[in-house]
Structure 1
């Protein structure tokens, strides 16, 4: 959970581009991150007759977002579903299943379209070659596939206020859980890992994107911190659990904390659209 999901980058910087707060090139660069390329397929045509097949020609991010704008897009929201928790989804079942398989999706508000990423890795490192080969020799290509979505309230997305309150409790619970389960990372190792995460975050990205309310940024940062604690607790290099029963106990104790962090991240990403709705 230490890294931003691709759907989060697309929604945050896509919203900034829709609002005219960043240039198309800057938005595309921020969304792509370290990936070699991002393309969008199956975009509907504005002038296409009802029932016409979508355009299967892959297009770049800026062209795709521009076309979505002409179709009536007012914002982009995030879904981060896992089995048993369709967080941010509203249907139909086919789209929900695709989003669940990917673990993420973007909902285009005002258009009834959702985008699910298909990630393709190529190169020696991706093919399971020599572990000594630099990761730079491999590259990742992402295809965002458009599918119809239901215009309805998304599942289980809290308000920013609710998310902030829940996160404060989750952070306390996570710290107590790490200590109770005798996880080595609950001490200096956790602090070191969190410091490394914050340093990487400051070097590599801006939190969310221009146009987001300060409270969303605060909630997002806290959600990342809670998520970092969960990741560290699951990591064998930091944990003290040695038996299957102890590992299962740790997972059961941390599952609600991880769920809270995911809900808060979605609330933060979606705060831009919520803010625009309140402003009318």
Structure 2
């Protein structure tokens, strides 16, 4: 099964690999853009980082951040009530939550929020504070527990009757997405990211249509069973795409 990493995860992995000398800039551009037409970086001049106030190319913006002391790029995948991967301030958090993702630039007080318009993405710069993260082990354990608990809860709700494809996914968790990562990303984090994406996809698939539920009670029970899995999937992806929390070696 193939599924694309969210754009903030791609920038976190490949941008960090570039900062650490593992890949060249052309590879970063190819990996981050994916199927998009173009990416740009906006707002750096508003933060006093030079430039004439116009958007810069992705490579130009990343180069400017490196000059400012960037040491890594870490992803955040927040949701309302769960700002995982964010450390404020309020404006940055609100913008990132609205987008569903963001990147924090290590070694600086800058965060980038992707704003998509068609096939183009503009990475808008904001001030960003220090953040606290789930570590890789904690996120891994939380995801495994959420998968077990969700599978049990959905079995009680007869998931195979109203969403047979969800039941199939839960029965075939070993068929997880295949991800390509640059040098420097720990294999454990590549595996965790794949399982986090898998969990998020299962939750989204099961929540996308409440029409099969007969009563409001059944709809609420279904959401109650699935939201912990969705949360665990996002937290796993944050841990896997946050270099400051990667295990040594």
Query: Shift in Å at residue 178 of structure 1?
Result: 2.0
Count of residues in correspondence between the two structures: 246
Distance in 1 (alpha carbons) for counterparts of 2:149 and 2:231: 13
The 1-side partners of 2:204 and 2:9 are apart by 19
Q: CA RMSD in A?
A: 2.9
| CA apart distance, 1:192 | 5.6
2-side partners of 1:94 and 1:256: how far apart? Answer: 26
1:267 aligns with 2:239: yes
Q: Would the alpha carbon gap of residues 192 and 254 (structure 1) be closer, same or farther in structure 2, given more than 3 Å must change? A: closer
Aligned runs of 1:43-58 on 2, under 5 Å?
Answer: 43-44=44-45, 55-58=52-55
1:160 corresponds to? 136
Q: What SS does structure 1 have at the residue aligned with 2:56?
A: coil
Structure with max Cα Rg: 1
Q: Which residue of 2 aligns with 1:221?
A: 194
SS of equivalent to 1:142: strand
Is the CA contact 2:159–2:167 (under 8 Å) kept in the aligned structure 1? no
Length-normalised TM-score, structure 2: 0.87
Structure-to-structure mapping, 1:175-214, within 5 angstroms: 175-184=151-160, 189-190=165-166, 201-202=177-178, 205-206=179-180, 208-214=181-187
CA distance in 2, matches of 1:178, 1:117: 34
Is the Cα contact below 8 Å between 1:183 and 1:240 reproduced in 2? no
Structure 2: gaps (5+ residues): none
Corresponding residue number in structure 2 for 1:113 = 110
In structure 2, distance between residues paired with 1:160 and 1:16: 19
1:170 aligns with 2:141: no
Q: Which runs of 4+ in 1 moved over 4 A?
A: 50-55, 185-188, 191-195
Q: Which residue of structure 2 aligns with residue 80 of structure 1?
A: 77
Query: In the TM superposition, what is the alpha-carbon distance from 1:241 to its structure 2 partner?
Result: 2.3
Seen in structure 2, the aligned counterparts of structure 1 residues 54 and 63 have a Cα distance that, compared at 3 Å, is closer
TM-score by length of 1: 0.78
Q: Distance in 2 between matches of 1:107 and 1:227?
A: 22
3-state SS of 1:68 partner: helix
Report 1 or 2 for greater relative contact order, CA contacts < 8 Å, sequence distance ≥ 6: 2
1:66 to 63, 66, 82: 63
1:255 corresponds to which of 219, 223, 227 = 227
Correspondence for 2:125 among 130, 134, 146: 146
Partner of 1:133: none
How far is 1:262 from its partner? Answer: 0.8
Q: Does 1:104 align with 2:101?
A: yes
1:185 & 1:105 partners in 2: Cα distance?
A: 37
